């Protein structure tokens, strides 16, 4: 019997144990490591750890969250790709690792489709179009009119080159037919400092970094890029509602992936237990307070999302200068 066969039989035993109610003994023997590509304490790390705790509470396997930051997530992603396909080493995947990295110069040393099996979407970060309170525009149409009067004069901050904030800014400029000045920063925090100070005009940003500034009146939300209105800012229309569907994207998503050739029953079992954890009201409510929206998908739906996001954003990454 080959090593691969032994690993698959062990994995299938774990699945059978979960299915027959022996989850506690199975999880004790077979903990699952989820590799996170960022340092501990960040929003995506908090989201993953909250869901991991719930998985254990509902009788799933013990989840070990392992942070492997650096290298744009490439090193961590390769580590999971090369792990045994037994369902015990998973990746907290994201738009950055599976959509942005492959579109950068030289591509990525892994294939999001061929090298991984998708399990489920876990959560996303809704993105808002926020402007400094001193900006004259009170709506997106007014902002567009202002941009047309000052072509190239309106600036937008981003969390860095190739980030969601950058790409959404490029999409917005393309949609309105007016060039905007991109000002990249090293993360959301320094970008937010300059946005609040009025050194830049606008930014596509998540709820959590902007929450206090919205409450103080330093910033104003003109629209959201999610497919539906956000409960945090119910008065703000979606970009699709106001005629800019190309700028509508739940782009900042995170999901769960396993190495290729992981047995289908293992994928199915993992999907079921994580989807159940995500559906828990306490998980949803706790993460909503962090500006994180949870939601499961089927493996096929997540795979389709990666393909559609790649088709939409890869050309934009290459043409916008993100890949230079």
Beta strands in 39-169 (DSSP E): 63-67, 89-94, 116-124, 127-132, 155-158
In the structure, what pLDDT confidence band is assigned to residue 304 with cuts at 50, 70 and 90?
A: very high
29-41 pLDDT tens trace: 589 999 999 888 8
Residues 117 and 58 in one domain: yes
| SS3 category, 279 | coil
The total of other beta-carbon atoms located within 10 Å of residue 310's CB is 19
Instruction: Answer with the one of 247, 277, 305 that is the final residue of a domain.
Output: 247
Give yes or no: residues 109 and 35 share one domain: yes
Please report, for the domain that includes residue 295, its CATH number.
Answer: 3.40.190.150
Q: Give residue 232's domain range.
A: 127-247
Does 226 share its domain with 145?
A: yes
Statement to judge: residues 165 and 111 lie in one domain:
no
Kindly report, residue by residue over 97-109, the tens digit of the pLDDT. Answer: 999 899 888 889 9
Indicate the number of domains in the chain.
2
Whole-model pTM: value is 0.81
Q: What average pLDDT does the structure give for the chain? A: 87
Q: In this model, does residue 18 exceed pLDDT 80?
A: no
For the segment 72-83, the average pLDDT, to the nearest whole number, is 95
Residue 322 confidence (pLDDT) = 56
CA distances to 84, 229, 288 from 43, rounded to whole Å, are 28, 21, 11
* Distance in angstroms between the alpha carbons of the first and the last residue of the chain: 49
Same domain? 112 vs 261: yes
pLDDT the model gives residue 74: 94
């Amino acid at each position: 019997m080959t090593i691969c066969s032994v690993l698959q039989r062990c994995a299938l035993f774990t699945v059978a144990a979960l299915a027959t109610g022996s989850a506690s003994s199975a999880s004790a023997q077979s903990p699952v490591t989820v590799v996170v590509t960022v340092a501990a304490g960040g929003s995506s790390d908090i989201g993953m750890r909250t869901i991991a705790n719930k998985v254990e509470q509902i009788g799933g396997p013990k989840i070990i969250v392992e942070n492997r930051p650096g290298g744009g997530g490439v090193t961590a992603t390769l580590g999971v790709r090369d792990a045994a396909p037994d369902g015990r080493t998973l990746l907290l995947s994201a738009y950055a690792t599976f959509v942005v990295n492959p579109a950068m110069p030289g591509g990525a040393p892994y294939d999001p489709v061929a090298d991984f099996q998708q399990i489920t979407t876990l959560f996303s970060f809704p993105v808002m179009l926020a402007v400094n309170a001193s900006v004259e525009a009170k709506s997106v149409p007014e902002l567009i009119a202002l941009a047309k009067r000052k072509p190239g004069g309106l600036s937008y901050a981003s969390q860095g080159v190739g980030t969601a904030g950058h790409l959404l800014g490029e999409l917005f400029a393309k949609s309105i037919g007016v060039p905007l000045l991109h000002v990249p920063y090293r993360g959301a925090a320094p970008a937010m400092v300059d946005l609040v100070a009025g050194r830049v005009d606008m930014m596509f940003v998540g709820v959590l970094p902007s929450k206090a500034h919205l409450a103080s009146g330093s910033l104003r939300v003109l629209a959201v890029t999610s497919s539906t209105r956000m409960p945090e800012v119910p008065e703000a229309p979606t970009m699709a509602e106001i005629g800019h569907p190309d700028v509508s994207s739940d782009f900042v998503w995170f999901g769960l992936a396993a190495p290729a050739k992981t047995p289908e029953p293992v994928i199915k079992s993992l999907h079921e237990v994580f989807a159940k954890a995500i559906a828990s009201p306490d998980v949803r409510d706790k993460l909503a307070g962090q500006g994180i929206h949870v939601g499961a998908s089927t493996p096929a739906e997540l795979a389709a999302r990666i393909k559609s996001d790649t088709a939409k954003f890869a050309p934009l990454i290459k043409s916008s200068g993100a890949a230079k």
